[in-house]
Structure 1
């Protein structure tokens, strides 16, 4: 048997690929409440270049359930949403001067300056996000932007998209975000949302093979090789022998299971999703520069064939691993506070028109700090943990430089490929 720890999206994709190849596979939870709930992707959209996800949807027969539209963004500042998608819209932002807009456009064009302009020896060079992994974002913004631009634009994006400030990040994730928006604003939305994808994967793997209980408490190795995992159910401990194990959790969970310390800090988003009959904004993402308990509003997040006239808005706030999450408050209190703030931002918002309100905790994501590539968890953990142990979680190479739906799917694919390569031809499925 092959075990997959973590009923995350990447874990389910990994198990699906292995099961499809004929292997006996079971998915186990790592904790009572898994650190990476597979259904918690309410703000996910596909970029046209997301080949792993599109291939998975094709395999599942979901291509016809993918709808494409323009993912527009805006900034809520001083009571107004300022669209920020075209050069004209960016130039119209009231907090940016002409000089600041010109420098901003250079960044959106993917161009950096090399050399000393004062000496007449500077030149334009293309920006490749991965080349900036070791560059502190704060220093990069200081050299390529202004304090006013950082306060009006980049700080809301960093807090709303990455859950961290410029002093905690490398320049790579922001430059990657800019690159993807530069390529195209076209995005895909899956009918039924992420849960429909999860349901299909579970059905393909086998419901009886995706087990919330028992949970894995320990990985047992001997002489540098995997032997088994210890399982706990209702206080009783059992042992399950395994040929291979894929850990599809966040970096903190792999540390608890194997003592492997990736040295990666994480953030966890809290989502409050509401369903209304009236849209609050025409933008897909609104970054909130004004004071509010949330940093970003995403809409619409899903296309629901059962209620085509409804609009779904998701408010997002991140908490770092060393902070108390907003989710620690009772959901009713959290929802009351966030809805009150939403009403202050959007006076036309009528709580009486709400069809539903739901609070969830999203997928824990790594903070892509300076030098992050040196700390990514390898897919094959033979050297770091034991032969037969693999990784397909949020701290893998596939999720760099920012955890997205595509990265989670690609991580699951990569984990399955490593397992199959290691087991063949010694154990080729019949």
Structure 2
């Protein structure tokens, strides 16, 4: 006797190839069944914004009511939406701005651009465009830096909440070494942050991140107040930058002479912990990586940004050896693309420059289930397992003539994913779904 699902006006079925991970792939184990679920002809059932079931079409089709809406994605791959662990929404319109290094790039482009976000109307406009770009590139969750303006942070959350997206964001804290028009104080930054936490953290699908820009632009007093808020609100996120460029590392050492390392500055203010995500982490030593591991802090690996600014190469081998958590990130606007497929391409090449091999399965893991686990959201996003939030994308391996020809010749799932990572871009994203609703559909 076949078990039939009860009638539901909100139940929707999607047919296509299905892929999601449940643990990190091991390059030394050729059989990847231990780390993923793959259904060449699969059926995904979504109800009330959640995944109801996921499996082989042949096993699930008989459970459907006769009139259940069915969307068929022939020759396409359905997988969890991408998760970007480090990106700046105010820098959208200054992407691809030339500079010889990080610090002059901040001074000449970033700070003047962020000045405009004192205007809530401008902030709202850029928020909408930014979210459109994320969804067009298959990113359904991002860890987002706003500006030092409370109003701009409100504008971003309002736009995300209206679309029912799962986003993590925070007001930037800067009380020194920045233009007066962006500067807050240790007290005003803390007051604004607490008000934003109380308004937005846990409102719908929104989550808050305490966001000191980086140690050189915060006084010890501001980092101390940030640490106090982190203790008072143990479930909020923390995000900042660390050890991105050598000039920045030198500057941080001059400003905080009693710290063992750049990372140690944050540690002294109790800002290393689970849900703390630090961008770049290039110039860390083994002691730093061990501390990241022990505190369960997360490194956001931003290869397109690091290559663009010439900051250095993130050491994937050292991160893996130390068991330090990391996830991939675009870091727009120093990053040169909103696409995590393009980011995977650069991450692969950065690893190869250091004689390390990153399989495509591992790259996709770090943009989905791995990122969700690192952010404390395992089981909620980054998966197609029953009970998860229905954030998923539809990838088209035939989106360009070259990719179509290469995909046709793929002899394994690894080869197919490798082609998508090395040759793919926003054109591969056929559709993006958030909480079960289609939020992007590529025009044919």
Instruction: Judge same fold: TM > 0.5, yes or no.
Output: no
**Larger relative CO (CA 8 A, sep 6+): 1 or 2?**
1
Question: Larger C-alpha radius of gyration, 1 or 2?
Answer: 1
Structure with a larger share of its residues in helix: 2
